[in-house]
């Protein structure tokens, strides 16, 4: 029987991940993604063992509207980093992928060169469930990848809905990929996304498009001057880049390295990670409390009518809330 | 014994509020603000009776950094509206007022003329408690004022913390008061505030300051062109104004009236109010679930150490969350 088919013990997982065995890492991620209670318990034990190991990683969130060229940019930047000897994991957070069949990273052929690189590990978005569920799995996958020695984690997400805020809460640095043509592009973006970014990169800044990209970049810089930066002690910047011009990607990465140095020195880096971990714990508690309440059959029975009455201004919101809380508490 | 000292029945409150008896309205608001369970139960009954009455009111949130001239502007605008025959209530939402002694509306002498106007009713921020508590009281005070026939409700808040988001969730229109000198001012503002505004007004646009105000306004318009509007079907605008020039305030109010007409016609106005009421109900439920959980002595005992372990990356967040949820569930 081939070794990879046998059931793995906690020790197998631990040693395999720490030894950067990609087959075992993949199975550990599958374990983390599983909804099965036994798998979840095992996954938590594994994470508890591995937690002290994640070292000097950099977690970078990348977002942008569809068509902004995220995948091509990640492929080019990823190859550049791997060629320099970095070990790179690329993950995706896309709750819609279970419905749409995977809009990002679903088709690994889009990152043909990177996927073949021995230093790279690419994992599509976990399927199924809410953003909260996908986010939990992705956070834990980050930890597994770090334990396996991947020192750069790129987390890609699509520029819709609540995704960016969630990804921002699990990364050190947040990169927003933009296109020239500015105004129209941004209209389609979720509110506040510029304000959670540490760097805006106007992509496809090459050929005929170069001048427009430079103009857009100047415009964004003006906007950034009016907004509060996402990270204390780091002024959010705007740059142009092109996957066709590796030197622009090298410069982009240099900015990220500068960010890491600056925030590690100031302590903002460590403070954010601590804060993220605690916030995440609280978010999971709130989510569970919410689910327990709203899965209660009595609540499910009462809710639609009460919501309707509140919406139609026939019942004060506080009264409806009390009725529901009382109904849930009654045995 | 003077009538105003006797204990009021539910009927007294109902009839008094509907008859626009300011003394009874004030006492009804005090009832709504009370933490006493008996008062709260009575307040909910009163609100249930009054709810169908609020008619064609306009709820306007007003915020801006300290020193932006909010009070003076509200006073001038308020007098203008009252002189036109409108009945106007001015409320404040400021959770810090219980600590600071009231930074807004606390000193009614700042609105000397308005406070004496027979068509105006001014109520300072409810004191004590969290933003959530202050917000609940303010929402219910809005309903009482509307039932008493006040057709324009101005809700003032200070430009710090989470206040604006909360006030946005209880008003139809959100006005952000700015100053020329732009960049620096905005740096001090909470992220995303521009994106929840329906109108930016660069204040103190008079005398030597006029040109700077116009420049700032042009700059903000550029920014607004890049951001998503706060209300579907309404392009967020920027204007200049000055409390010294009533015609600028008349123009400002005209913009608000245009907003109301536009969104009433499109249905966005009614949809937002329905949505706000339901969201509010859910927020109160979540808040109560949260409080019940974290007031649990067992949780209070376990939490500090678990938070510490999670922050130091010694324990996975999910494991800590589970331990707490389990501890709360154990009898």
Q: What is the average per-residue pLDDT within B313-317?
A: 92
* Binary contact (A219, B228; C-beta < 8 A): no
Whether pLDDT at A101 is above 50: no
Question: What value does the mean pLDDT of chain B take?
Answer: 87
Is B42 inside any structural domain? yes
Q: What is the ipTM of this complex?
A: 0.84
Q: Is residue B270 part of a domain?
A: no
Domain match, B41 and B127 both: no
Q: Which residue, among B91, B93, B88, B198, has the nearest Cα to B152 in the 3D structure?
A: B88
Q: A175-184, A202-211, B105-114, B252-261: which range is least confident on average?
A: B105-114
Which residues of B190-277 form beta strands (DSSP E)? 199-203, 237-240
Categorize the per-residue pLDDT at A229 as very low, low, confident or very high, splitting at 50, 70 and 90: confident
- Of the pLDDT bands very low, low, confident and very high (cuts 50, 70, 90), residue B32 is very high
Mutation target for B interface from A216, A318, A329: give the one with most B CBs within 10 A.
Answer: A318
- Put simply, the chain A residues between 226 and 255 with a CB less than 8 A from any chain B CB are 226-228
Q: What is the mean pLDDT of residues B184-211?
A: 79
Task: List the single residue in A196, A280, A293 with the smallest CB-CB distance to B317.
Answer: A280
- A-facing residues of B in 194-213 (CB < 8 A) are 194-196
DSSP secondary structure code for residue B231 in this structure: B
Please check whether residue A176 touches B, CB under 8 A: no
What does the block give as tokens for A37? Answer: 């209670």
- Within a domain: A274: no
Residues A133 and A180 in one domain: yes
Question: Where residue B187 falls among pLDDT bands split at 50, 70, 90?
Answer: very low
Mean pLDDT, residues A49-78 taken together: 86
> Chain B: nearest CA to A208, how far in angstroms?
23
Cα–Cα nearest to A284, from A172, A136, A126: A136
Alpha-carbon distance A230 to nearest alpha carbon in chain B (angstroms): 9
Minimum Cα–Cα distance from A187: chain B residue: B228
Residue from the list A285, A310, A324 with its beta carbon closest to the beta carbon of B277: A310
Instruction: Report CB contact under 8 Å: B47, A318.
Output: yes
- Judgement on whether residues B135 and B221 belong to the same structural domain of the protein: yes
The pLDDT of residue B270 is above 60 = yes
Give how far A308 is from chain B: nearest CA, Å: 8
* Residue whose C-alpha is closest to residue A135's, from A148, A145, A126: A126
pTM assigned to the model:
0.81
Does residue B44 belong to the interface with chain A, where contact is any CB pair within 8 Å? yes
B137 and B256 part of one domain: yes
Q: Are residues A174 and A37 in the same domain?
A: no
In-domain check, residue A272: no
Between A100 and A270, where is the model more confident? A270
Q: Are residues B41 and B61 in the same domain?
A: no
pLDDT, tens digit, 9 for 90 and up, residues A121-166: 998 888 766 777 788 889 999 999 999 999 999 999 876 667 888 8
Based on the fold, state whether residues A244 and A320 are members of the same structural domain.
no
Lowest mean pLDDT among A197-201, B61-65, B290-294: B61-65
Residue B192 maps to a domain: yes
Per cent of chain B over pLDDT 90 is 62
Q: Check which CATH number belongs to the domain holding B35 and give it.
A: 1.20.5.170
Q: What is the mean pLDDT of residues A281-292?
A: 92
| Confidence tier at A99 by pLDDT (50, 70, 90) | very low
pLDDT at B322: 92
pLDDT in the model for residue B5: 67
Nearest CA in chain A to B286: A290
pLDDT reading at B186 higher than 90: no
Residues of B in contact with A314 (CB under 8 A): 51-52
Q: For chain A, what is the mean pLDDT?
A: 87
Better-scored residue on pLDDT, B189 or A306: A306
A residues 55..114 contacting B (CB < 8 A): none
B275 in a structural domain: no
A-to-B residue pairs, Cβ atoms closer than 8 angstroms: 160
Please indicate, yes or no, if residue A319 is contained in any of the structural domains.
yes
Q: Is B299 on the interface with A (CB under 8 A)?
A: no
Q: Strand, helix or coil at B210?
A: helix
**Interchain CB distance below 8 Å, B277 and A321:** no
Which residue did the predictor score with more confidence, A99 or B18? B18
- d(CA A209, CA A216) in angstroms, rounded, equals 11
Are both A7 and A85 inside the same structural domain?
no
The rounded percent of chain A whose pLDDT value lies above 70 is 88
Check whether residue A17 and residue A49 sit in a common domain: yes
Question: Domain count of chain B?
Answer: 3
Of B143, B194, B228, the CB nearest to A187: B228
- With 80 as the cut, is the pLDDT of residue A185 above it? no
Q: Do B51 and A314 lie within an 8 Å CB cutoff?
A: yes
Residue A319 has its nearest CB partner, among B44, B54, B139, at: B44
Question: Has residue B226 got a pLDDT over 50?
Answer: yes
Determine the structural domain holding residue B307 and report its residue range.
280-329
> Which pLDDT band, with edges at 50, 70 and 90, does A92 fall under?
confident
Which A residues 177-196 touch B at CB under 8 Å? 182-183, 186-187, 189-192, 195-196
């Amino acid at each position: 029987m081939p070794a990879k088919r046998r059931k793995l013990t906690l020790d197998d997982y631990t040693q395999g991940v720490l030894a950067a065995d990609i087959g075992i890492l993949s199975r550990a991620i599958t374990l983390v993604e599983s909804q099965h209670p036994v798998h979840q318990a095992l996954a938590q034990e594994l994470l508890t063992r591995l937690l002290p190991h994640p070292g000097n990683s950099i977690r970078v969130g990348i977002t942008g509207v569809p068509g902004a060229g995220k995948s091509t940019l990640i492929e080019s930047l990823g190859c550049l980093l791997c060629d320099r000897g970095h070990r790179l994991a690329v993950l995706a957070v896309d709750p819609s992928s279970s419905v749409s069949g995977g809009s990002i990273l679903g088709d690994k052929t889009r990152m043909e060169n990177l996927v073949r690189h021995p230093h790279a590990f690419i994992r599509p978005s976990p399927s199924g469930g809410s953003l909260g569920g996908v986010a939990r799995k992705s956070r834990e996958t980050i930890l597994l990848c770090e334990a396996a020695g991947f020192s750069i984690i790129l987390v890609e997400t699509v520029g819709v809905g609540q995704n960016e805020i969630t990804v921002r809460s699990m990364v050190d640095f947040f990169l927003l990929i933009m296109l020239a043509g500015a105004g129209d592009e941004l209209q389609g973006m979720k509110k506040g996304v510029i304000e959670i970014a540490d760097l805006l990169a106007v992509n496809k800044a090459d050929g005929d498009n170069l001048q427009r990209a430079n103009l857009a970049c100047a415009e964004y810089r003006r906007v950034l001057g009016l907004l509060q930066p996402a990270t204390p002690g780091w002024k959010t910047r705007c740059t142009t880049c092109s996957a066709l011009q590796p030197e622009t990607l090298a410069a982009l990465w240099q900015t990220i390295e500068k960010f890491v140095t600056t925030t590690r020195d100031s302590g903002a880096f460590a403070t954010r990670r601590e804060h993220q971990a605690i916030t995440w714990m609280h978010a999971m508690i709130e989510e569970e409390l919410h689910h327990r309440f709203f899965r209660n059959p009595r609540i499910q029975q009462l809710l639609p009518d009460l919501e309707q009455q509140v919406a139609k201004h026939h019942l004060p919101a506080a009264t409806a809330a009390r009725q529901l809380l009382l109904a849930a508490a009654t045995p």
